[in-house]
A = this chain, B = another copy of it.
Amino acid sequence: MSQRPDSNGPATSLHAELLEQLREYIAEGNLADGMRIPERILCEKFQISRTPLREALKVLAAEGLIELLPNRGARVRRLSERELRELFDLMGGLEALAGRIACERISEEEIQRIEKIHQEMYFFYLRKDLHEYFRRNREIHEAIVRAAGNQSLSDMYTAVYSRVRRSRYTANTVKETDRWSAAMREHELILDALRRRAGAELSEILFMHLRNKFIASTGQMPDIEDVSETNSSKAELRLIGD
């Protein structure tokens, strides 16, 4: 097969396109967790030979989306509770970083654009339109990450998010709604800190925002071991989330 002489858009390589397709295919949950994925099936599905497929699988394995057992093929990596918590914290850390840098670099116009999305979000919050609310919610978080103007950070954030996306815990439904008003309040704080360009503060809020979402989603506490109560972070954890 040549380089897709027909029907192709940009002149990107076949391998890159395949990778993109596969990533999407897996992230969307078309393959059951932990299920074995025979190369043959994917080859037929994407009309491609084993060589480029195997290259793509190696990359996806490095990204953590699938796992490759020697001589036993690929399977979709199933996230343990532990890994999910790890990835949530990681995402929180990356957003915190993005928020901090964004405060240094973001333009007034971009702040206004985020404010606009925020107001839309508030509107859908009042309307109790969960779907549209979450879309705006996601847009705000993405905008903050983008506003940091750090491509490496954005890439890493996307990679982490794509791993977490599959998880049923992130489905933004029932349990999350209990926390809806709290989340909305946190978003007010986020925007306020951003307006004031208070980097450290925004950083703090964003991290806790993600933590609270994790706690609400899973019921799990992010593993705080027996640590003396002089510990300030425990207090902070409650400070925002209501």
Given A59-B62, A64-B152, A86-B150, decide whether A199 and B236 contact each other with a Cβ distance below 8 A: yes
Q: Which residues, 188 to 229 on A, are CB-close (under 8 Å) to B?
A: 196-200, 203-204, 207, 222-225, 227-228
| Dominant SS among interface residues on chain A | helix
Q: Is there a chain B Cβ closer than 8 Å to A153's Cβ?
A: yes
Q: For residue A21, give the distance in angstroms from its CB to the closest CB of chain B.
A: 15
Q: How far is the CA of A92 from the CA of B101 in the complex (A)?
A: 11
* A89: B residues at CB distance < 8 A: 97, 101, 150, 153
Q: How far is the CA of A225 from the CA of B156 in the complex (A)?
A: 24
Q: Is there a chain B Cβ closer than 8 Å to A20's Cβ?
A: no
B104 touches A97 (CB 8 A): no
Give chain A's interface residue range (CB within 8 Å of chain B): 35 or more
B58 touches A104 (CB 8 A): no
A12, A59, A224, most chain B CB atoms within 10 A:
A59
Q: Is there a chain B Cβ closer than 8 Å to A143's Cβ?
A: no
Given A58-B55, A236-B200, decide whether A152 and B97 contact each other with a Cβ distance below 8 A: no
Contact with B along A27-46 (1 / 0, CB 8 A): 00000000000000000000
Contacts from A to B (Cβ < 8 Å) = 11-13, 15, 51, 54-56, 58-59, 62-64, 70, 83, 86-87, 89-90, 92-94, 96-97, 100-101, 103-105, 149-153, 156, 160, 196-200, 203-204, 207, 222-225, 227-228, 230-234, 236
Besides A90-B150, A90-B156, 20 more A-B contacts (Cβ < 8 Å) are: A55-B55, A62-B62, A83-B151, A86-B151, A90-B152, A90-B153, A93-B93, A100-B207, A103-B233, A104-B222, A104-B225, A104-B234, A105-B225, A105-B227, A149-B223, A152-B160, A197-B228, A198-B232, A200-B232, A200-B236
